[in-house]
Every structure is written in structure tokens, then in C-alpha cells.
Amino acid sequence: MGIVPKLIRFFYVVHLVLLLIGVHGSVHGRLLSIPPKPDPADAAATARWLVSQNIWGVLNTISSDLGGAPFGNVLSFSDGLPNEGSGIPYFYLTPLDPTARNAMKDQRASFAVSEYSLGTCGKKDPENPSCAKMTLTGKLKLLDTSSKEAEVARSALFSKHPEMEWWPPSHGFQAYKLEIENIFLIDWFGGARPLTVEQYLKYKM
Amino acid sequence: MGIVPKLIRFFYVVHLVLLLIGVHGSVHGRLLSIPPKPDPADAAATARWLVSQNIWGVLNTISSDLGGAPFGNVLSFSDGLPNEGSGIPYFYLTPLDPTARNAMKDQRASFAVSEYSLGTCGKKDPENPSCAKMTLTGKLKLLDTSSKEAEVARSALFSKHPEMEWWPPSHGFQAYKLEIENIFLIDWFGGARPLTVEQYLKYKM
């Protein structure tokens, strides 16, 4: 057996192993491997894992254009460098988009993320309670551009979303954060899992 | 060269071709292939494709528990049999979950879906305008259980979410629909694409 078929066989096996451990299934446009999901009984670990591993979610505000309707917007976010996040979701928003305009009039907001988008739920339905999902509710706040936190937010965002650094300056993108007041986490059967904001934020990754 | 290495090489090539055309990248727990994305200039086709191909999104209501905050919830949905959808998102909700309780007090709602979750955005950022996203705003309405439409809704839901048929009867799941009043679609650069509810609903898949 020559060297070429041997090499082909070797790469095929490596490839299958990567598929089996879910690396291919969880990339979706980014070459990151997902660290193992925490034990669902550890609510803080699961919640922080969901926010650290996801790169997008739906940010909801009260629509001033649509008579106060709850307006959900698919947006990219980051809570920090991969696996070093703070748990605070940061966004990069332009007043050309309804979400930033809504927040100027009413800061009430929520942000929803799903384990399903990480590709780790296997064949389970996205609404199966063991496929984790979370909604963080609070206030969407514009960060002072020259503040330390705005700098942290921009590093967090640009590390996970390199495109953002090149978005048109004329659009006036600015860093925002969700100041969390309430956590709704489903990661197993039996309803929402109790988790305080303090427990969530003080958890060390 | 024996038959075994030949077979291995054959399957490896098939495998790579599948990877290249994105079949692996777009399954995420369901063995469906995604039909090609319509031309972004065709707003109705793109919008209906997003709703027909996605199996989950974030449904937003006004939270009665959280002082009127906009509450987004990750939920499974269906607009019909695969590739035969009506464009109307149906949900299967229990009053044990905040979303159904919120809708009983205030029907205003929106539903957000993303192309990113289909795996067809490649290496683009989830917020890149050419990675389509859409928010349907309207009223979340409980369907009369014995009505024709509730039957349609249940068939639509159970065809894409086989688990639902086995959810605990004691939880009181019922079919709801989003009655669409406004469409916010981003599928290219240059801001939201004009699309009326009539254009959206009358489009034939």
C-alpha cells in the first residue's frame, strides 16, 4: 500500500473523529471549537457558557415606530474574548437601525440566546427543555465612547466579530451594553431554573 | 490497490463534496437540505424562504411579570409542511411559559428569524447585511382548538417538530399564530427592504 492511500486514509479518520465530536457541526462560519456544556444543574455555569459561546442572539426593545410593540432584532454580540467573557452582552449599534433608536426612548430590553445555534443539541427539538435557552432582561445602555468600559466592549466585539472594525464610520456605530436585571434560563425539564444576576455575574469561567 | 482503500477513498471524496456544498454545515439536528437562497432583490421570496426553512426563532411579547419589558423567548415554530408553508408562523404554547401568559394580557408581539441559523451565511458575520434576517411584528393569537386553522397549525407544527405531539397533555399546549402587521427584512446592504404583508402572504413558493 503506497504512501498516498495511507495519507488519504489517515486524513479521513481524523476527519470522521472531528465530525463525531461535533467540530464541523458547530462552526457555522467561525473556526472555534465549543467547550463541553456544563452540568445543567449548575445554572450559573450553563448561563455563562451560553453567553460566552454564542456570537448572535435576538435583542428586544420597545418599538417607537410600531406603537410600542416588542421588537426583536437579530444581532451580533460579545461578552468578552472567547472563554474569558464577563457575562455582560455588548452590542455595536447604529441609530440607522431601529434597536438603537428604540433604546434612546425606552431602555427596557431583553436578549435571547439558544444552545441550538451552537449545534450541540443534536437531534433534539430547539424547544426541548434539555436544549438550553436563556433570556436576559434589563436596560440597554449606550456606553460613553471614551470610557474604559466602551474600550472593553469594542475589544470584546472585534475579537469575535472582526468585520465590525470595518463597518462604515459614517453609520455612527457605538458600543452598548445590556445591564442585566433578570435571568430566565431553561436548561432542563421542570421550568425556569432559579439564578440571580449576582450568581450569574460572579461566576468564574 | 485493494478494494478497501478504493472504497475509503471514494467515501472520502463524497464526504468532502458534501462538506463543500454545505450539507453538513446546515443540518444542526435535522436531516433536511436547504433549497437555494432566493435572489436578495426578491424580498417576498427571501422572506418566505427564511420562514419556511427555519424551525426556531425568538418570539417577543410584553412581559406582564417584568413590568412591561419586551420579553424574547426562543421557540420552535412552523408555517407549514416543508417547502409548502403559508408564511404564517404557528407556535405551540403552554400557559406554564411566560410567552402565552403575556399574550393573554397584551397580544402585541414580534418574531425574529435569521439566515445564520440555516448555516448558509458561510464565514460572514451574523450581522453582515447579506446574511438575511427578518422580524415579523403583529398580534399573537390563540387559535380556537376545534377550528380548521388550529388543525392546520398542529399539522404544520408536528411535521417539523415530531416531539411536540408527545409533549405532556397536562401542560395544556395550544396552537397560536402570529397575525402579521409589519415586516422588517434585511437581506442586503442599504437598510430594510420594503415588503408589504400582502406581498409576503400572496407569494407562491
What is the residue type of A88? I
Judge whether residue B35 has pLDDT over 70: yes
Average pLDDT over all residues of chain B: 89
Length of chain A: 205
Grid look-up 401542560 returns B171
Residue among B60, B117, B137 with most chain A CBs within 10 A, to mutate: B60
Rounded to the nearest 10 degrees, the angle between the axes of helix B3-20 and helix A3-20 is 50
Touching B: A residues 115-134, CB under 8 Å: 116-117, 119, 121-128, 133
Copy the grid coordinates of residue B64. 406582564
Print the SS3 string covering B26-82.
HCCCCCCCCCCCCCCCCHHHHHHHHHHHCCEEEEEEECCCCCCCEEEEEEECECCCC
| Contact yes or no for A56 and B114 at CB 8 A | yes
Residues B8 and B97 in one domain: no
CA distances from B81 to A54, B33, B90, B161 (A): 29, 14, 12, 11
To the nearest whole Å, the CA of B107 is away from the closest chain A CA by 9
Contact partners, residue A166, CB within 8 Å, separation at least 6: none
Residues A3 and A58 in one domain: no
Residues B101 and B3 in one domain: no
The pLDDT value given to residue B40: 97
Per residue in B151-205, pLDDT (tens digit) is 999 999 999 999 999 999 999 999 999 999 999 999 999 999 999 999 999 999 8
- ipTM reported for the complex, 2 dp: 0.85
What's A36's DSSP letter? P
Residues B162 and B116 in one domain: yes
For B112, which residue in chain A has the nearest alpha carbon? A72
B20 against A141, higher pLDDT: A141
Per residue in B120-154, pLDDT (tens digit) is 999 999 999 999 999 999 999 999 999 999 999 99
Chains A, B: CB contacts under 8 A, how many?
197
**Angle at A187 (CA atoms; ends A184, A191), nearest 5 degrees:** 60
Residue among B4, B20, B71 with most chain A CBs within 10 A, to mutate: B71
Touching B: A residues 45-84, CB under 8 Å: 55-63, 66-76
The pLDDT value given to residue A27: 37
Ranges in chain A, pLDDT < 50:
1, 12, 15-31
Residues B96 and B18 in one domain: no
Q: Where are the beta strands (DSSP E) in A20-173?
A: 56-62, 70-76, 90-93, 108-114, 133-142
The pLDDT value given to residue A7: 55
The verdict on B98 touching A (C-beta cutoff 8 Å) is: yes
The pLDDT value given to residue B11: 53
To the nearest whole Å, the CA of B98 is away from the closest chain A CA by 10
Judge whether residue B24 has pLDDT over 50: no
Residue B152 domain boundaries? 35-202
To the nearest whole Å, the CA of B48 is away from the closest chain A CA by 17
| Contact yes or no for B70 and A58 at CB 8 A | no
Residue among A19, A73, A74 with most chain B CBs within 10 A, to mutate: A74
Residues in chain B within 8 Å Cβ distance of A69: 108-110, 137, 182
To the nearest whole Å, the CA of B93 is away from the closest chain A CA by 11
Touching A: B residues 151-190, CB under 8 Å: 161-164, 182, 184
The pLDDT value given to residue A23: 38
Residues A25 and A88 in one domain: no
Residues A20 and A56 in one domain: no
Residues in chain B within 8 Å Cβ distance of A184: 71, 73, 98
Sorting pLDDT into bands at 50, 70 and 90, what band is B81? confident
Cβ atoms of B52 and B35 within 8 Å: the answer is no
B28 against B72, higher pLDDT: B72
Residues A1 and A93 in one domain: no
The CATH number of whichever domain residue B152 belongs to comes to 2.30.110.10
Closest alpha carbon to B116 in A57, A86, A153, A184: A57
**Rounded-to-integer distance, Cα B126 and Cα A161, Å:** 9
Residues B78 and B159 in one domain: yes
Residues A182 and A103 in one domain: yes
The verdict on A5 touching B (C-beta cutoff 8 Å) is: yes
Q: How many domains does the structure of chain A reveal?
A: 2
Which strand (E) or helix (H) includes residue A181?
A: strand A174-186
Residues B99 and B152 in one domain: yes
Residues B82 and B169 in one domain: yes
